[in-house]
Structure 1
Amino acid sequence: MNLRTLRTFVEVVRQGGFSQAAEVVSLTQSTVSKAVKTLEDDLGTPLLNRIGHRSELTAAGAIVYRRALVLLAERNDLIAEIKALRGLECGVLRIGLPPVGSGALFAAMFTEYRARYPNIEIQLVEYGASKLHECLESGEVDLAALLKLKSFNEEFYYQDVRIEPLVVVIPKSHPLAENISVNFTDLADTPFILFEAGFALNAVIQAACERKGVTPKVTAHSGQVDFIVDLVSAGLGVAFLPRMLAQKHLHHGIRLVPLDEPETDWHIALAWRKNAHLSPAAEAWLALAREWPGSEGRPGHSV
């Protein structure tokens, strides 16, 4: 039994005969007769009483006809729902973003995405890098914005979003505040203010310090950029932020000095699992990210 056979049977009933049904379903009359006979054989009972050129439903036929209408309607609804999903008339975008820099990078994109696809539900989670990795691996989110490191997970595909140099957020009174640039050797005796554990930017800074043979003196950790900038302004130490983010948190008590260190760029990429099927909603987000002004996005590829 299949849906095509059921549709043929339904048309026989609707049209009142085999020849009329054959025209509707674009089959020969003999093929229609065979389809109904096959259905009767499968169910083990006659479905039609053939009276001359007319056919009447048996009691079993009435049940099959009623159930077939429901099944065929469900099939049509299924096709319509899939078409709507592909056409982005419905669906869900499940995306994970880091707390640092997401507003600067993605807020306007969310506005544009909502304007283009108003019926897509957006499910957003915000975590540090390690938790975002877990969410992506477990399938809790379809896409995650991650800081791209050398140890970037090989189970993921990625699409670049933005590459920004780091700047040193330094107190206005610091001796190096007027420098054209500084490196970690220059800052060896200056306390650092870093992000909380789980933030990938810490790993970038610590790895660069190790390459220089510098052991940073960490005086504070925080997950809030505003608070970090306030701590710097108060003279507690120096901090490190992507340039575009630092410029949004300018303060009269600080200076922004370029960090002259290799392999310390803030490199954000959208990542997704290689073995996952991306939803149309997620594909649409990737497409928008590729066309967004300032994006480094290119078609997805693996690291």
Structure 2
Amino acid sequence: MLSHAHEVFLEVARQLSFTKAGQTLFLSQSAVSKRVRALEEHYKTGLFERLGNAVQLTAAGELLYRKLLLARQLQHELEQEFTELSPEFQPRQQMVIGASTTISLYVIPPVLSAYLGRYPHTQLTLKNRNSENILKALLEHEIDLGIIEGIHKVSHVTYTPLLTDEVVAVCSARNPLHRRELEAQDLRRTPVALRETGSGTLAVLEEALQTHGIRLTDLQVKVRLGGTEALKNFVRVDTCLAFLPRQSVMKELAAGELVEVPVRDLNLVRHFDFVQRKGTENNLPYKTFVQFARRYYGNAKR
């Protein structure tokens, strides 16, 4: 097994930050520094070059990082095989997953609960950000697995489908709009509240509007709000229209607090995808979690 000092080194090397590594590992910055110094004394060479508040790996650090990643993968594979041979063997594993707001609030919690019930020795951290920032965290090695929505695909990243969802137009039950059926062109004259730039929900709306020759700048945007809950709470008391994931407003629609406004010719279907850096798709335990989540939502054959 990798030593604790090696695990600490891996986290510092992954995030290139002693502070962020300490936050992830629930260690003080001094404790992180102490373990890295112990490794540097053991290998008789520096592993990080300190540049003010930033750090970067030395040649020796790069070598150690590459080898430890291979060793960790072998360790995970060995632990997985022993788990299958002996159900009583339950190694402790760590996972840091990033998910966009809607997924964090409404989609992934039941999956996490079921997964932790099956793998109780997993220490799991979920980071909640919008889709654009989850992708950024993945590319910067802050996380190893993300779940995002409605964002244009980029290279160096593997996308694995999880499920699809619908974005719906909603308004307060007191809003006269709820008695109407709209067309896409009507949105030019309708006050709306939107999510912030980088939101997957906003990206899906923008793409659908473009098929009708409508830009976001053509809309009467009353406010932009960061987060699904903020937008939902705002439209409940205001007179504008909002576009929200159906998953996020099911309770409010059932209770009559919000009302769905049909937009006849606007198709707002979005996809939730797992994202991983290319070449890391088989890394455990993330591979196990992806398979588990897809089975949970019945998409194993998608």
Output the TM-score relative to the length of structure 2: 0.64
Contact 2:150 2:204 in 1 (8 A): no
- 2:268 is aligned with what amino acid? T
The answer as to 2:91 corresponding to 1:89 is: yes
Q: Deviations over 1:195-240 (max 9, x none)?
A: 1222122122223223323311111111243332232232341111
1:106 deviation in Å? 0.8
Aligned to 1:282: 286
Secondary structure of the equivalent of 2:153?
coil
Equivalent of 2:273 in 269, 272, 276: 269
Describe the shift of the 1:177–1:236 C-alpha distance in structure 2 as closer, same or farther (beyond 3 A): closer
1:277 deviation in Å? 5.3
Q: Deviations over 1:244-275 (max 9, x none)?
A: 22213346443113444455212111111112
Task: State the alpha-carbon separation in 1 of the partners of residues 207 and 242 from structure 2.
Answer: 15
Task: State the alpha-carbon separation in 1 of the partners of residues 223 and 140 from structure 2.
Answer: 32
Output the TM-score relative to the length of structure 1: 0.64
Secondary structure of the equivalent of 1:118?
coil
Aligned to 1:231: 234
Q: Deviations over 1:142-198 (max 9, x none)?
A: 11011144x21232222211211221112324443134x533212221111111222
Secondary structure of the equivalent of 2:204?
helix
Task: State the alpha-carbon separation in 2 of the partners of residues 259 and 278 from structure 1.
Answer: 42
Aligned to 1:182: 182
The answer as to 2:198 corresponding to 1:195 is: no
Contact 2:161 2:273 in 1 (8 A): yes
Describe the shift of the 1:213–1:79 C-alpha distance in structure 2 as closer, same or farther (beyond 3 A): closer
Structure 2 unaligned blocks of 5 or more: 1-72, 84-89
Aligned to 1:166: 167
- 2:107 is aligned with what amino acid? L
Contact 1:209 1:216 in 2 (8 A): no
- 1:109 is aligned with what amino acid? V
Aligned to 2:123: 121
Structure 1 unaligned blocks of 5 or more: 1-77
1:278 deviation in Å? 3.8
Secondary structure of the equivalent of 1:100?
helix
Task: State the alpha-carbon separation in 2 of the partners of residues 233 and 200 from structure 1.
Answer: 21
1:103 deviation in Å? 2.4
Describe the shift of the 1:278–1:136 C-alpha distance in structure 2 as closer, same or farther (beyond 3 A): farther
Task: State the alpha-carbon separation in 2 of the partners of residues 131 and 174 from structure 1.
Answer: 34
Task: State the alpha-carbon separation in 2 of the partners of residues 277 and 226 from structure 1.
Answer: 32
- 1:84 is aligned with what amino acid? E
Secondary structure of the equivalent of 1:280?
coil
Aligned to 1:220: 223
